[in-house]
Structure 1
C-alpha cells in the first residue's frame, strides 16, 4: 500500500514538474498542450481562492449578462416572424446568440458552462478536493440561476412595453427549447457542455482579443444553430416562458434545468477537462 502511494506521489510530482517547466511560447508560435493546461489550472485555482461573496456576485453578473443574448433572440424572432418560415427564424437566431457569451467571457464574469472544465482541472491535479469543487460549482450555478431569474422578469416586462417582442414570442421560444424527450435534452446538454469546455480551452490557447471573440462567436453560434441545450441560456428562456405562459409548468422547468445542468457539467468535466488532462499525464509518463 505504501509503495502504491509512493508511486502515485512520484507521478504527481512528475506532472507538476512538467507543468512548471512549460514555458511561454514566442508571440508567433502556438501554445503547447502543457502551457494551456498550466494556464487553465492556475486560472481555476485563482477562482477557488476568491471569496464566496465575490464568486456569487460574479456568477450573478454572468446570469444577468446572458440575458442580452435572450433579448436579441426574442427581438430577432419577433422581427422576422411572418417574413420567413419559423424553421429559418430558429436557425437565424444563431447570429445573435453569441453576444451575451462574448460580454461574459471577455468581461471575466463566471459562467458555469465556460468554467466547468476550468474548475475541474485543479481537482484532477490534486490541488483541490472534490468537496471544494462541488461547493464552488454550487455557488456558480446559484449565482447564474438567480441572475437569469432577475433578467427574465425584466425582459418579460420590457419587451412588450418597447414593442420589440411579445409574450407569444417568449412562449414559442420556451416551447421550442423544452419540446424534447428528457433523454434528448440530456445528451444534447452533454454535447453543449463539451463545446463550452472546448471554448474555454481554445480561448486560453489564443493570444489576442480578436481571436478570442472569433472563437467565442463560432463555438456558441454552432451551439445555437444545432439547437444544443445550454443550461444558463436555457434557464432564462424556459423560466421566462414559465412566468408568462401556461404552456410551461414548474415541473417541466425543473426537469429541464436539472437535465441541462447535469449534462453540461458532464460534457465539460469529462470530455474536456479529464481527457485533456489525462492526455498530458500519459505524455509525461511516456
Structure 2
C-alpha cells in the first residue's frame, strides 16, 4: 500500500516538474497549469521555511498595511455622506477598498486569506503535515489581527483629529459589516476566501506589475461591491466599532471574527487549493 502511494506521489511530482519544464522552454507562452501549481507549492513552502518571528512580524505588517483601505473607506463615507444616497455610498467603497490589498500583496507581507490556498497545497502534495498548516495559520492570523487592532486604535484617534472622519462613521461601518446573520457572514466569507485563493492563483500567471495590480483590483473590488466578508479588514472595521460604540459588544466581534475566519479558510483551502490540486492529479 505504501509503495503504491509513494509511486503515485512520485508520478504527481514528475508531472508537475515536466509541465513546468515544458512551459519554460517557451518563455513567451502563458504558464501551464503544472507550472502555476509548482509555483504555488514552492511559494507555500517558502512560508513554512521562514522563522516564526519573521512570519509574525510579516503578518503584523500585513494587518497594519491593510488598514489603509479602512482609512480610505472611512474618509470616503464621511466625505460623501450628505452628497449621495446611503446605498450608493457603500458601493463607492469599491474604488478604495483594493488599496490596502495592493500594498500588502505587492509588498509581500503575509496575509491570511491570500496565503490560505498557498499554505494548503504543500500539505496536499505531501510535503507538509496538517499540524504544520494549522500552526502557520495560527501565527498568520494572530499577526494579522494584532496589526489590524493597532491600526484601528490609531485611526480612531487620528481620524477625528484630522477631521477626515468622525466616530459616527466608524460605528456605521461596523454596523454595516455586522448587519447580516451568522450564517450569511459564514457563506459570504467562504465566497471571499474563494476569491482570495483565486487571486493568489492568478498572480502566479501574471509577470508584469501592472497586470498584478489589475488582478488585485479586480478581485478585491468584486468583494467590496458585493459586500463579501473578509476576516482581516473586517477585524479592523468591527473592532474599531466595538471600541467606540456601546451598541457593539465583544460578543458581536467574536461572532463575526469566528465565522469570517472559518469561511475564509474553507473558501481558500477547499474551493481553490483542493479542487485545483485534485483537478491536476486526476489528469496524471
The two structures share one fold, judged by TM-score above 0.5: yes
Q: 2:160 & 2:107 partners in 1: Cα distance? A: 29
Question: Is 2:278 the partner of 1:278?
Answer: yes
Shift in Å at residue 29 of structure 1? 1.6
Give 1:183-222 correspondences, 5 Å limit: 183-222=183-222
Shift in Å at residue 80 of structure 1? 0.5
Contact 1:175–1:247 (CA<8 Å) still a contact in 2? no
Contact 2:76–2:93 (CA<8 Å) still a contact in 1? yes
After superposition, the C-alpha distances for 1:28-81 in whole angstroms (9 at most, x for unaligned) are 321111000000000000100000000000000000001000000000010100
SS at match of 1:270: helix
* Alignment-derived partner of residue 31 in structure 1: 31
Contact 2:193–2:263 (CA<8 Å) still a contact in 1? yes
* Alignment-derived partner of residue 171 in structure 2: 171
Question: Is 2:98 the partner of 1:98?
Answer: yes
Q: 2:2 & 2:165 partners in 1: Cα distance? A: 61
- Number of aligned residues: 281
Which shows bigger deviation, 190-199 or 28-37? 28-37
Return 5+ residue gaps in structure 2 as ranges. Answer: none
Give 1:123-202 correspondences, 5 Å limit: 123-202=123-202
Q: State the TM-score, normalized to the length of structure 2.
A: 0.98
SS at match of 2:282: helix
Question: Is 2:5 the partner of 1:8?
Answer: yes
Q: 1:70 & 1:240 partners in 2: Cα distance? A: 10
After superposition, the C-alpha distances for 1:242-263 in whole angstroms (9 at most, x for unaligned) are 1011121000100100000000
Q: 2:151 & 2:280 partners in 1: Cα distance? A: 40
SS at match of 2:228: coil
SS at match of 1:31: coil
Question: Is 2:241 the partner of 1:244?
Answer: no
After superposition, the C-alpha distances for 1:130-177 in whole angstroms (9 at most, x for unaligned) are 000000000000000000000000000000000000000000000000
Q: State the TM-score, normalized to the length of structure 1.
A: 0.97
Q: CA RMSD in A?
A: 0.7
Q: 1:214 & 1:283 partners in 2: Cα distance? A: 31
Shift in Å at residue 7 of structure 1? 1.6
